[in-house]
Amino acid sequence: MRKEGHVKKLIFAVLALAFLTVFSTEAFAYRYTRGHYRSNGTYVQTYRSSSPDGIRWNNWSSRGNVNPFTGRRGSRSWF
């Protein structure tokens, strides 16, 4: 009986760790850009963009991806 309790706790701990890992990496998948004025005086509102990683087809605007904040599907093809 006691061994089963330890196994259940271990399974729960592993699943909880996996859950937290998935959602913590998702939190760093984007960055905020504060609103600012361009040199020509145009104001650009604050926005979120995917974090740069050097992979052109790994952006929200790329075909097959969906922007998690707007729900818009990507349409750009980089090939």
Walk along the chain (79 residues) and give the pLDDT tens digit of each residue. Answer: 566 778 888 888 888 887 776 655 554 577 888 999 999 999 999 988 877 777 777 777 888 888 888 888 888 886 6
Q: Which tokens sit at 56?
A: 């052109």
**pTM more than 0.75:** no
Q: Are 33 and 46 in contact (CB under 8 A)?
A: yes
CA dist list (Å): 9 to 6, 19, 21, 35, 77: 5, 15, 18, 47, 46
